[in-house]
Amino acid sequence: MGEELVSRTQVGIVGAGPAGLVLGHLLHREGIDAVVLESRSRDYVERRVRAGVLEQGTVDLLIETGVGERLQREGIVHHGIELRFDGRGHRIPFDELADGRGITIYGQQEVVKDLIAARLDAGLPLLFEAEALGVEGIDGDEPTIRYRYEGRERELRCDVVAGCDGYHGVSREAAPAGALTQYEREYPFAWLGILAEVAPSTEELIYAYHENGFSLHSLRSPSISRLYVQCDAGDELEQWPDERIWQELHTRLARDDGWELEEGPIVERTIAPMRSIVTEPMQHGRLYLAGDAVHIVPATGAKGLNLAVADVRVLAGGLVDWFRSGNERLLELYSATCLRRVWQTQNFSAWMTAMLHRYPDADDYQLRLQRAQLDYVCRSRAAAASLAEQYVGLELAQTKSSV
Ligand code: FAD
Ligand code: DHB
């Protein structure tokens, strides 16, 4: 791109994850200029394997805004999940309990690929290997992103900066000391996730509670399975050779009726920590934070990606009103509007995590409480409906926006 690089834009977006890319896409549809800066290469972000469960609201947004064509073709719609414990499976039927809403299985990196292709095809600015070094001037009218690109330090002057740079990003640090408050929980366990080249042994996702620890059978396609096992917080991949992974999966997912888990070559593996974090408020001056840059949920509820998309939908609505008519009301409500969903989702993710994982210090009392919870969710229609409506995505009344 050389010297013709843009140095002034309306919205400077740090990070080309789901939050930054969806925001750029929504703004473009409303005629608002944005530049997206991403520290990694295109290849890296398109291969980064992460989440795979899209809520109905996320799917609807992508389809309605013209980036859901492949998602509609390749995404796999599910209308239930299975909770498995004591060797038995219990289906939570979303079709009956969540007003017909469901979830779609479609890898996060596929969403990212579709959004990158749409942005580049439209000739819109998206720079890879462009690392933001800091955000300055957020208390004034022209916040600036300092970044490094092609070996040189550069500046992007903006009306507004959107910090969509994930948990390890730099934009959150632009807020002055004491302006933001962080609420957090660490969990004494992590998830080891694998992709295996084998047809899924299940049609619907299985969340399994077992004395050895939690495990999850998910999928990506008719020939690729996605599986997770709870491991210790400090575990390294070397401690988990293939045989151990499969052995734990067989043990934890076992069902009395002879159901079998098929094995296949493991083509990807990562250990992801489990934590809950919320940073409040989600905005300071002309800096708006979205997605993992301001909140993290433990993966058990499959919410991280969906929450990131929900944030930027609200942000785009506020920015459109402000740029079009100078009306700042929605932007002022950005943090409060988002935090309602954020805390509902924190609650759901923490609850699912507590119910399904084996805590290293759990005593018999706590184990019996977990059983009682699982039993209740599987027996009570009201409890199952509560899980279902949160899993498919809460429909919170949102402040009206034009996007
Ligand atoms: P991100 O996707 O993290 O995007 C942020 C982007 O900013 C990245 O591309 C990053 O490279 C870029 N960036 C960072 N710093 C800079 C900088 N200084 N300058 C420029 N760019 C920068 N959720 C689930 O529901 N289920 C899962 O199984 C699951 N697995 C996960 C595994 C891992 C290892 C991680 C980290 C997360 C996982 N999540 C999962 C959570 C989910 O993927 C995230 O919630 C989601 O990616 C949030 O999107 P985002 O756009 O806010 O952040
Ligand atoms: C997947 C990830 C999750 O965190 C989850 O709760 C369910 C499924 C997945 O990667 O498919």
- Cα–Cα distance for residue pair 21/343, rounded to 1 Å: 23
Q: What angle do CA 197, 199, 203 make, to 5 degrees?
A: 140
Q: Are 23 and 316 in contact (CB under 8 A)?
A: yes
Q: Where are the beta strands (DSSP E) in 2-79?
A: 8-14, 34-37, 53-55, 76-78
Distance of CA 17 from the midpoint of ligand 1 (Å): 6
Which of 54, 228, 296 has most ligand 2 atoms within 8 Å of its beta carbon, as the pocket-test mutant?
228
Q: Are 223 and 197 in contact (CB under 8 A)?
A: yes
What is the identity of the amino acid at 226? R
The residue among 45, 166, 195 whose CA lies nearest residue 108 is 45
Q: What is residue 141's predicted lDDT score, i.e. its pLDDT?
A: 96
What is the number of the ligand closest to the CA of 307?
A: 1
How confident is the model over 330-353, as pLDDT tens digits?
Answer: 999 999 999 999 999 999 999 999
Give every CB contact of residue 265 below 8 A, 6+ residues apart in sequence.
196, 197, 198
What is the number of the ligand closest to the CA of 200?
A: 2
Pairing of strands 181-196, 224-232: antiparallel
Cβ–Cβ contacts within 10 Å for residue 120, how many?
A: 12
The residue among 352, 104, 84, 350 whose CA lies nearest residue 207 is 84
Q: In the structure encoding, which two tokens stand for residue 92, read together?
A: 């939570």
Distance of CA 360 from the midpoint of ligand 2 (Å): 23
With a Cβ cut-off of 6 Å, ligand 2 is lined by: 51-53, 205, 216, 218, 226, 299-300, 302
How confident is the model over 217-227, as pLDDT tens digits?
Answer: 999 999 999 99
Q: What is residue 347's predicted lDDT score, i.e. its pLDDT?
A: 98
Tens digit of pLDDT at every position of the chain (403 positions)? 445 577 999 999 999 999 999 999 999 999 999 999 999 999 999 999 999 999 999 999 999 999 999 999 999 999 999 999 999 999 999 989 998 899 999 999 999 999 999 999 999 999 999 999 999 999 999 999 999 999 999 999 999 999 999 999 999 999 999 999 999 999 999 999 999 999 999 999 999 999 999 999 999 999 999 999 999 999 999 999 999 999 999 999 999 998 999 999 999 999 999 999 999 999 999 999 999 999 999 999 999 999 999 999 999 999 999 999 999 999 999 999 999 999 999 999 999 999 999 999 999 999 999 999 999 999 999 999 999 999 999 887 555 555 5
